[in-house]
Amino acid sequence: MLSSLFTGVSGLKANGMAMAVIGDNIANVNTIAFKANSATFANVLRRSLAGATGNEIGNGVHLWGLSPLWAQGSLETTSNSTDMAIDGRGFFMVRHENGDVFYTRAGVFSFDADGDLVNPNGLVVQGYKYVDGKLQADVVDISIPSGNIPPKATTMMSMNINLDSRALPAQSGLTPAVCTVQCTADNSGILYTAVEAGESGNGISIEYVDSGSGGPSVMVSGDAITVDLGGVAPTASEIIALINGDADASALVTAAAAPDQDGTGQVEVTAALSLEGGSGQDAEEAVLTVEAGDSGILYTAVEAGESGNGISIEYVDSGSGGLSVTVSGDAITVDLGGATATANEIIALIDGDTDASALVTAAVAEGYVGDEQAGLFAASSLSGGIDGAEGIPADSYSTTLTVYDSLGSPLNLTIDFTCLGDNQWQWRAVSSDGTCTSGGTIAFDASGKLVSPAEDPTITISGLTNGASDININWDLTENENFTGYSLRSMTTFQNQDGYSSGTVQSVSVDRNGVVSGIYSNGQMWPIYQIALADFPSYAGLDAVGENLYGESFTSGQPTIGIAGSGTIGNISPNSLEMSNVDLANEFVKMITTQRAYQANARVITTSDEILSELMNVKR
């Protein structure tokens, strides 16, 4: 009779503990990554000394254990870049200062004063470190460096450019002389055009004669071209072939069928006609012949045109120091320096001097041999320079890219493109600092695809004023299918280079793979760490140690450590936190059933008490 009392007591204890579990779940409804627990019970059997008979009466109930519910909690978006949630299996790894490693799904992390990524208890998050862009194998503390990253000089650049196939090359300001010889027959007209443009072509004459035998031939005397029909009646096309095939005649003119004619008409004897309409004059260089002593030197201005007329040449003798040359503006002074210099020595001196050779070239004058001794010569100016007719410059296009030297200083690198015609371009690189002489040609085929150069060009910038090392940039050109020569205006749609200046970490970001990247003040973004995640064979065997932490145990099995998305490990949701998976509705239902179970067990005790009371009343 007394056993029912103790059976009821066991029920009260077990359901009281179940109510405590429900209360704990409800209390942690807002705890980050909390996993609800479920109480499970087991019956208690009474054994006799005779062993089990199959007729044993139960002796109550006891709490068998707690079963965590490892279902995924919902994800909440936050504004903190270091908040993380695991979408799927796995745990974050955090290390205590004593070296113990714990596991958690609560990704509430931040940086402490030392730059370590820690949870609210100061345990350091674990991960793999990037060194020179490569992920290392060891799991270490995640600590963001506070120093500067060194600059990187530009070594590679790429540009997506279209160069307009309709662009025109430079055009001379000279107009060639022309003449059309039209005979009686239809389609017999021939257009003659002077090879050399300008007024010089106006003196060329064309005459058709007939010697009566020998067939068609051509003779050239000075600027007079005579076509002998030779007793036959050739067509205009035959005369055109004759003229263009003759070395002397084709040096003066080119022949073609007159406009709107096909050259099938027969030609006939025609009086001499002169080409006309040629206009403009080529630029001519200013010159000066210096006859000093027994020597003679011809000086010619490097730049053609009237600008060369202001250059002066003077020979002096200071009496010592040897042969030398000085340049002041457009005045060139040759100092004999007490020596007996020959014309050849002065020519070598002029051509070897950077400033002097930029103004004039020197050569032995006609009638001299160069080994004659030079003497004094009063200052005289070059003359005879004539500006040529102004032409039309070639179509061009320029684009500028910022590159960096070894000290991290930015430079403007400009690529100038000049049309050469036939969808070919000449390019030249110009730097805002230092010296850059890199250049070359670019050509496209009939479909606008790049065919030249065959290898990527290298652009070199040297002599930087800040003392930085020379810059050698590989231009990724030959394999770039977006560098084209289509019939579309010239434009740059994309450009890139791999250099950057020095910078400090301004902020960090975490991606879905758990890569922690630093965002630097120089605009660069570099991976620094990758979050390490751990997975266990049995989550139920983990030791709950409080503070949202779990510890490894014998029953949990050893952890499998890796990165997000590898093996059975889930992905990381940045700027998110995993919420508690407690279902309040379910907990309230459990609370009702547990309350009723508690009341029922209490009723067992009161009923047993009443039975005992009736038993005591039997004695009365």
E strand spans, 82-123: 84-87, 91-95, 101-104, 110-111, 117-118
Residue 472 binned pLDDT confidence (cut-offs 50, 70, 90): very high
* Residues whose CB falls within 8 Å of the CB of residue 517, separated by 6 or more in sequence, listed in order: 508, 509, 510, 511, 525, 526, 527, 528
Scanning the structure block, which residue is given the tokens 């087991």? 42
pLDDT given at position 68:
85
pLDDT tens-digit readout, 95-134: 999 999 999 999 999 999 889 999 999 999 999 999 988 9
Q: What CATH number does the domain containing 424 carry?
A: 2.60.98.20
Task: For the chain, give the mean pLDDT.
Answer: 89
SS3 for 343?
helix
pLDDT given at position 12:
83
**Of 198, 402, 187, 345, the residue nearest 282 (C-alpha):** 198
pLDDT tens-digit readout, 491-542: 999 999 999 999 888 889 999 999 999 888 888 888 999 999 999 999 989 9
- Looking at the structure, tell me whether residues 28 and 60 fall in a common domain: yes
Residue 391 binned pLDDT confidence (cut-offs 50, 70, 90): low
pLDDT given at position 389:
61
- Residues 269 and 271: their CA atoms lie apart, in Å, by 7
How large a percentage of the chain has pLDDT more than 90?
Answer: 60
- Residues 539 and 216: their CA atoms lie apart, in Å, by 107
pLDDT given at position 609:
76
How large a percentage of the chain has pLDDT more than 70?
Answer: 95
Task: Give domain status of residue 248, yes or no.
Answer: yes
- Looking at the structure, tell me whether residues 413 and 485 fall in a common domain: yes
pLDDT given at position 285:
84
Task: Give domain status of residue 416, yes or no.
Answer: yes
Compute, in degrees rounded to 10, the torsion defined by CA atoms 445, 450, 452, 457.
170
Q: Give the pairing of strands 101-104 and 124-131.
A: unpaired
Compute, in degrees rounded to 10, the torsion defined by CA atoms 402, 408, 409, 410.
10
Task: Give domain status of residue 230, yes or no.
Answer: yes
Does residue 49 carry a pLDDT above 80?
A: no
- Looking at the structure, tell me whether residues 256 and 298 fall in a common domain: no
Q: Which of 475, 497, 519 is at the close of a domain?
A: 497
Q: Which of 381, 416, 438 is at the close of a domain?
A: 381
pLDDT given at position 387:
65
Compute, in degrees rounded to 10, the torsion defined by CA atoms 100, 103, 104, 105.
150
- CA 609 vs CA 7, 92, 403, 502, 601: distances in Å: 13, 55, 95, 86, 13
pLDDT given at position 372:
86
Inter-residue contact 72 to 105 (CB < 8 Å):
no
Task: Give domain status of residue 409, yes or no.
Answer: yes
- Looking at the structure, tell me whether residues 66 and 93 fall in a common domain: no
- Looking at the structure, tell me whether residues 191 and 263 fall in a common domain: yes
Residue 442 binned pLDDT confidence (cut-offs 50, 70, 90): very high
pLDDT given at position 595:
87
Q: What is the mean pLDDT of residues 144-159?
A: 88
pLDDT tens-digit readout, 284-330: 788 888 888 888 899 999 987 788 888 999 999 998 989 999 999 99
- Residues 461 and 429: their CA atoms lie apart, in Å, by 9
Task: Give domain status of residue 282, yes or no.
Answer: no
Q: What is the mean pLDDT of residues 86-94?
A: 96
- Looking at the structure, tell me whether residues 457 and 553 fall in a common domain: no
Task: Give domain status of residue 280, yes or no.
Answer: no
Q: What is the mean pLDDT of residues 64-72?
A: 85
pLDDT given at position 18:
84
pLDDT tens-digit readout, 239-269: 999 999 999 999 999 999 989 899 899 999 8
* Residues whose CB falls within 8 Å of the CB of residue 55, separated by 6 or more in sequence, listed in order: none
Give the pair of three-digit tokens for residue 503.
């910078």
> What's the sign of the alpha-carbon dihedral 51, 53, 57, 62?
positive
pLDDT tens-digit readout, 184-229: 889 999 999 988 877 878 889 999 999 999 999 999 999 999 999 9
- CA 51 vs CA 4, 41, 58, 604: distances in Å: 22, 24, 14, 28
Distance of CA 504 to the CA centre of its chain: 22
Higher-pLDDT residue of 532, 5: 532
Name the strand (E) or helix (H) holding 5: helix 3-27
pLDDT given at position 415:
97
Does residue 1 carry a pLDDT above 60?
A: no
Give the pair of three-digit tokens for residue 619.
């004695």
Inter-residue contact 419 to 478 (CB < 8 Å):
no
Task: Give domain status of residue 350, yes or no.
Answer: yes
Which pTM does this prediction carry?
0.53
- Residues 111 and 103: their CA atoms lie apart, in Å, by 19
- Residues 407 and 404: their CA atoms lie apart, in Å, by 8
pLDDT tens-digit readout, 405-438: 999 999 999 999 999 999 999 999 999 999 998 9
Domain holding 396, by residue range, is 156-163+392-497
Higher-pLDDT residue of 267, 5: 267
SS3 for 62?
strand
Task: Give domain status of residue 170, yes or no.
Answer: no
Does residue 170 carry a pLDDT above 80?
A: no
- Looking at the structure, tell me whether residues 454 and 525 fall in a common domain: no
- Looking at the structure, tell me whether residues 396 and 468 fall in a common domain: yes
Residue 53 binned pLDDT confidence (cut-offs 50, 70, 90): low
- Looking at the structure, tell me whether residues 36 and 25 fall in a common domain: yes
Does residue 603 carry a pLDDT above 80?
A: yes
Higher-pLDDT residue of 416, 52: 416
Total domains present in the chain: 5
pLDDT given at position 455:
93
Does residue 283 carry a pLDDT above 70?
A: no
DSSP 1: -
Q: What is the mean pLDDT of residues 170-177?
A: 74
- Looking at the structure, tell me whether residues 300 and 372 fall in a common domain: yes
- Looking at the structure, tell me whether residues 302 and 371 fall in a common domain: yes
Q: Which of 248, 274, 300 is at the close of a domain?
A: 274
Does residue 50 carry a pLDDT above 70?
A: no
Q: Give the pairing of strands 331-335 and 312-316.
A: parallel
- Looking at the structure, tell me whether residues 132 and 193 fall in a common domain: no
